[in-house]
Amino acid sequence: MPAYLLFIRERLRDQAQYAVYKDTVPAAMQGHDATARAVYGLCETLEGPEAQGVVILEFASMAAARDFYHRPAYQEASRARHLGCDYRVILTEGL
């Protein structure tokens, strides 16, 4: 059953740190079969906290998504994201 990782950027605090994240995350994704379904396209917040941007990645399963998120290469890349932005990251099972 497919699973989706949703990355919701709520606030950009440090453009330089965010640039480091954007530069390092492609290498961290190597070897993972993820399909990008949305990547910072036009978005409109209808309810809840304002979203500045959204990324939706589809994985084959919840386990595959967790494996990607928790792998050391992604955790290393995400340090810059944590320093530069406020995000919510949600893992959800698809249909």
Q: Is the pTM of this model over 0.75?
A: yes
Backbone angles phi, psi at 41, to 5 degrees: -80, 180
Sorted by where each begins, the domain ranges of the chain are 3-93
Spatial distance between the Cα atoms of 24 and 38, rounded to a whole number of angstroms? 19
Whole-angstrom distance, CA of residue 11 vs CA of residue 52: 7
pLDDT at 79 (0 to 100): 95
Averaged over successive runs of 10 residues, the pLDDT of the chain (95 residues) comes to: 97 96 93 93 95 97 96 94 96 96
Residue matched to tokens 């993820």? 34
The domain at 3-93 falls in which architecture?
Answer: 2-Layer Sandwich (3.30)
- State residue 32's pLDDT score: 85
